[in-house]
Structure 1
Amino acid sequence: MPSVRGRRGLVAAALNVPVEQQQQQQHEEQEVSKSKRSTSPCLGVPKLKKRTALVDMTNAHKVNLSFLDKKKKKKKKQQQQEVKKTSSVSEKSQAEQQRSTSESTEGKSSENDEEEKEEAEEQAVCHVAQDLVTPEVPVEFDVDSENRNDCFMIPEYAKDIFDYLKSREEKFVLQDYMCQQPSINAGMRAILVDWLVEVQENFELYHETLYLAVKLTDHFLARTPIHRDSLQLVGSTAMLLASKFEERDPLSVDNFLYICDDAYNREQFLRMEASILQALSFDIGIPVAYHFLRRYAKCAGVGMDMLTLARYFSELSLMDFELVQERSSLLAAACLFLALLTKDLPGWPPVLQFHSGYEISELAPVVRKIYAMAAQPPSSELKVVRSKYSHEVFFRVASLPLVDYDVLEKTLEPQRFPLIQL
């Protein structure tokens, strides 16, 4: 039986094709196949050009390219004009040469105008580039240069990031919303937050998850009246959303069905999740106090024990409804200020005033509220935060004595306590 290649002659004979024409067709096909093999080894597939995977996508690169293109165009125009001049001199008379010289002067004037326009554009671009440059941080307040070799710390953008978070706080300022909630009160909210702290501790979640869950709960309650029976459902769903936003391995609905002792079903969790996202317009990237607290602690150069004490004050403040209206950056600064005074350290050094943007006079009202809350005896209903920070893992900061009230007031308002000269 003939092969597939040998059957071409039989098919051609059946179609009455001349032998010479068959040979010519075979010759052409061989040439085409050779040309295909020469371009690519993959049976005629054309060879693809290699392209760079990463290119310079900055505006500066585009501006430089545009300047180079303009310079190249200038050179081409000058060369073309020189060629035209030489040809016109050899062919035209002196009168025509005079005309050509007048035309060339006009062309030069137009070229000068174009050059002036291009120089003005270059100056405008340079002016815009200078405006985009962020102001340099003074050397005495530079806390990020030591991490210049650590790409995870992003020292070039650290201050800009926290300045941006601070600017976003204006969008998430809360007011007293309990007047819109006829079925719940501030005490019920405090019990819910205390329970969320326990959930965060049992599941070993990030502290950012806890803070964001409380923020989501407050913002939803400020927009939607609920019944007291649904308060735990709101807090649990807020923790579920926060874990999806912050955690590497977020919790599932089954986890919350278990910890809620099947008080709610899966459909209720999913409906509440959709309700919270719609009420917040899917914008759940809310700045929280824990982000600013870690930043301020780094600026002050304090140790882990000092940061833990400030975190203890900050988690206590989560349960106080009066502090819901305060901005997260201001709340974090007040917690660190109180922690510094508790450890007999300078209250508010200039580096913290520079990076936080707050002076002692702005911190004073919030510091007094946190101090009064921490000085109260522990409640039988709200005991999770105090028991958590009484553990040795957290340096037992909950058992530390608070700073004396007179020392606190002297630091907050030194003008009220003038020095007595003996």
Structure 2
Amino acid sequence: MKQVMPRPNSKINSSDIKYKEDVYNVKRTPSSPQGGPKKRSAFVDLTNTTKIQTGIQGNKSITVNKAPNRKVITKTRVTQKDCKDSSSEEQPKKAEFKAEGLPEDCFSVCQPDEQSTVQQQKVCVVRVPEEFDIDKEHIGDCLMTPEYAKDIFDYLKNREESFVLSDYMQKQPDLTQDMRGVLVDWMVEVQENFELNHETLYLAVKITDHYLSVDVVMRESLQLIGSTAMLIAAKFEEHCPPCVDDFLYICDDAYKRRELLSMEVNILQALNFDINIPVPYRFLRRYAKVAGVNMETLTLARYICELSLLEVELVSERSSRLACACLLLALITKDLGGWTSILQYHTGYASTDLSCLVRRLYAMLASPSHDKLKAVDNKYSHRVFFEVAKIPLVHIDTLEEALTVK
């Protein structure tokens, strides 16, 4: 016979009601009001320090006694001063521990010559002298964070020691300096076409150089490395970075999607995923603010700094020092004076630390080694950039005179 399920409006017999009441009573306790479930306070019923009563019908209440109080001995280390104050109490305490059957080493006693393990660290707050405080005008502006500005750039300057490069071209048998220059020139065009931040361009070049310094590559993969470095830098710097298909398109579909993604993994692993590399552009903007120069002078310094990306000989230079040298050369070119005390305070470099690098940058402008690469020149010849690429160089005697002035 088929088992017929009762309809929703069918009458339930008394035996079913009695069974349901038995089930409900199992979940109730005698102390719960109106037969509701018993509430328990936090942590109380999770321990054995109270009496637990079960309300199951037919069962007796089970009483659980409290655990006996036990003295908890913690191993501590005290200072020499504490030892002197409590020297008269040491022997009774040790005797008490021994009487309780506890090992004597539960209570550590310091020797007279033992130093305190906790040393109070003095926090030294370095205040910027008022005459050198360039961020006081932004006090109260949470977006500018003037109280952290100098500390941030000091931190970036300290991080430079972790990203020092040497001349890696001798490790690349299939590459030449001209090939790297062509790649960087192409990356400048990519930055312009996608309207990316300048920080993205500088970081992409840094990522490329660091990867080439640790891995031997073939010339067929050089553009793939450059475009992948731009992708990584854009993800790090841009609010809305271009997608993978955009970078495949600018490579004229010479590479597959899986090749670019695989190269991204290789680069990140080679750099240990540490791509927060200090770039000259950040230091240049900060130091230009310290000098109080106008936008045209800053753009001239940016032009010199961006041209330096093409030179593999300048790869080993610290980003902060390179930014200072570009700014100093721009100041001399615009006849705005030399290296001042406020610049020396905020940068940490004296004019004597920069003179050699300034001369190298001057030689780069006077006789560029990559005269056929015009992306940077064309970019800074536009009126948007004040046509700073057309500004003539100062005479070499004027440069030497400015560098020798103390």
Distance in 2 of aligned mates of 1:370 and 1:303: 21
Matched, 1:386 2:372: no
- Residues 293 and 332, structure 1, Cα contact 8 Å, conserved in 2: yes
Question: Contact (CA 8 Å) 2:157, 2:320: kept in 1 or not?
Answer: yes
Match of 1:150 in 2: 141
Segments of 5+ residues of structure 1 without an aligned counterpart are 40-45, 48-105, 108-120, 416-422
Residues 325-334 or 276-285, more deviating: 276-285
Is 2:370 the counterpart of 1:367? no
- The aligned runs of 1:55-70 (5 Å cut-off) are none
Task: Provide the rounded CA distance (Å) in 2 between the counterparts of 1:16 and 1:298.
Answer: 82
Preserved CA contact (<8 Å) 1:191 1:381:
no
Q: Give the match for residue 245 of structure 1.
A: 236
Q: Which residue of 2 aligns with 1:173?
A: 164
Secondary structure in 1 matching 2:239: coil
Q: 2:31, 2:38 within 8 Å by CA — same for their partners in 1?
A: no
Q: What letter matches 1:329 in structure 2?
A: S
1:28-52: CA deviations, max 9, x gaps? 876355998xx9xxxxxx99xxxxx
Runs (5+) with no aligned partner, structure 2: 1-5, 43-87, 90-115
Distance in 1, matches of 2:177 and 2:368, equals 18
Alpha-carbon distance, 1:375 to partner: 1.9
Structure 1 length-normalised TM: 0.70
Local SS of the residue matching 2:146? coil
Q: TM-score, normalised by structure 2?
A: 0.73
Are residues 1:186 and 2:177 paired?
yes
How far residue 353 of structure 1 moved from its aligned partner, in angstroms, is 0.5
| 1:282 alignment partner, SS class | coil
Letter in 1 for 2:394: V
Over 3 Å counting, the alpha-carbon distance change for 1:150 and 1:266 in structure 2 is same
What residue in structure 2 maps to residue 221 of structure 1? Answer: 212
Counterpart CA distance in 1 for 2:130 and 2:201 is 35
Q: One-letter code of the match for 1:146?
A: E
Matches within 5 A, 1:186-335: 186-335=177-326
1:11 CA displacement: 4.0
What percent identity do the matched residue pairs reach?
56
Corresponding residue for 1:31?
Answer: 34
**Given the alignment, which residue of 335, 338, 345 partners 1:344?**
335
Query: C-alpha separation between the residues in 2 aligned to 1:336 and 1:172?
Result: 22
After the TM superposition, list the runs of 4 or more consecutive aligned residues in structure 1 that deviate by more than 6 angstroms.
Answer: 6-10, 14-17, 27-30
For 1:31, give the aligned amino acid: Q
CA contact (8 A) 1:312 1:398 kept: yes
CA-based RMSD: 3.5
2:343 and 2:357 map into 1 onto residues whose CA distance is 17
Q: 1:10 to 1:320 in 2, by over 3 A?
A: same
Q: Which digits, 9 at most, give the CA deviation of each residue in 1:78-133, with x for residues without a partner?
A: xxxxxxxxxxxxxxxxxxxxxxxxxxxx99xxxxxxxxxxxxx9x964xx2x3x23
Task: Provide the rounded CA distance (Å) in 2 between the counterparts of 1:223 and 1:16.
Answer: 77
Aligned to 1:183, the other structure's residue is in SS state coil
Task: Tell which deviates more after alignment, 406-415 or 273-282.
Answer: 406-415
